[in-house]
């Protein structure tokens, strides 16, 4: 009995199992902080506030306890969507959370009638490319010098697509 209570308390203290759920307007600050920590050109709080208010944008948060540890953002147009950004906190990577977040997000997009999904990924970002390829995305194009690094270096992007129908 005491072992079960101790196990429950440890899980509660750590925040329990990660939960994927729709993001809400008051998440904008935390989403912007996580985006800024994950990408060279982070989006600000106002950008997240706008996206969270738009009806054609779908934003999911990955939460553990009270802490947001990841998110996925897509913009919808008719029966297509573009994944704009996915991030998981650096100290939470390698646990399969990105895959869970992506697959849940794709399920919600399908539920909204989306049949085709696009995204761009930096050509040399092997972890992200593996994530998307394992989720059924295929490279359909390339954009030269699409991303700009902090040092001014320009990197290519791959355009990827997945059909849900």
Average pLDDT score over residue span 40-69: 92
Q: Is residue 74 part of a domain?
A: yes
pLDDT at 15 over 80: no
Residue 121 CB burial class (10 angstroms; 0-12, 13-18, ≥19)? buried
pTM of the model: 0.84
Give the model's pLDDT for residue 14.
55
Q: What is the pLDDT of residues 81-102, one digit of tens each?
A: 999 999 999 899 888 899 999 9
Q: Is residue 153 part of a domain?
A: no
Q: Is residue 155 part of a domain?
A: no
Residue 46: strand, helix, or coil: helix
Average pLDDT, the chain: 87
- Count of domains for the chain: 1
Residue with the larger pLDDT of the pair 122 and 105:
105
Here the CATH number for the domain that contains residue 50 is 3.40.630.30
What six digits make up the tokens of 146? 């699409």
């Amino acid at each position: 009995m005491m072992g079960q209570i101790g196990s429950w308390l440890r899980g509660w203290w750590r925040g329990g199992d990660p939960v994927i759920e729709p993001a809400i307007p008051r998440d904008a600050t935390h989403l912007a902080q996580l985006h800024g920590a994950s990408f060279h050109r982070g989006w600000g709080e106002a950008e997240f506030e706008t996206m969270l208010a738009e009806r054609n944008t779908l934003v999911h948060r990955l939460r553990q306890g009270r802490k947001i540890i990841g998110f996925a953002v897509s913009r919808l147009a008719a029966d297509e969507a573009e994944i704009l950004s996915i991030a998981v906190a650096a100290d939470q990577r390698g646990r399969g959370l990105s895959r869970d977040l992506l697959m849940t997000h794709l399920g919600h997009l399908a539920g909204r009638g989306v049949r085709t999904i696009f995204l761009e990924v930096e050509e040399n970002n092997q972890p992200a490319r593996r994530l998307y390829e394992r989720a059924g995305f295929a490279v359909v194009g390339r954009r030269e010098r699409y991303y700009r690094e902090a040092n001014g270096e320009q990197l290519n992007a791959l355009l990827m697509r997945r059909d849900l129908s």
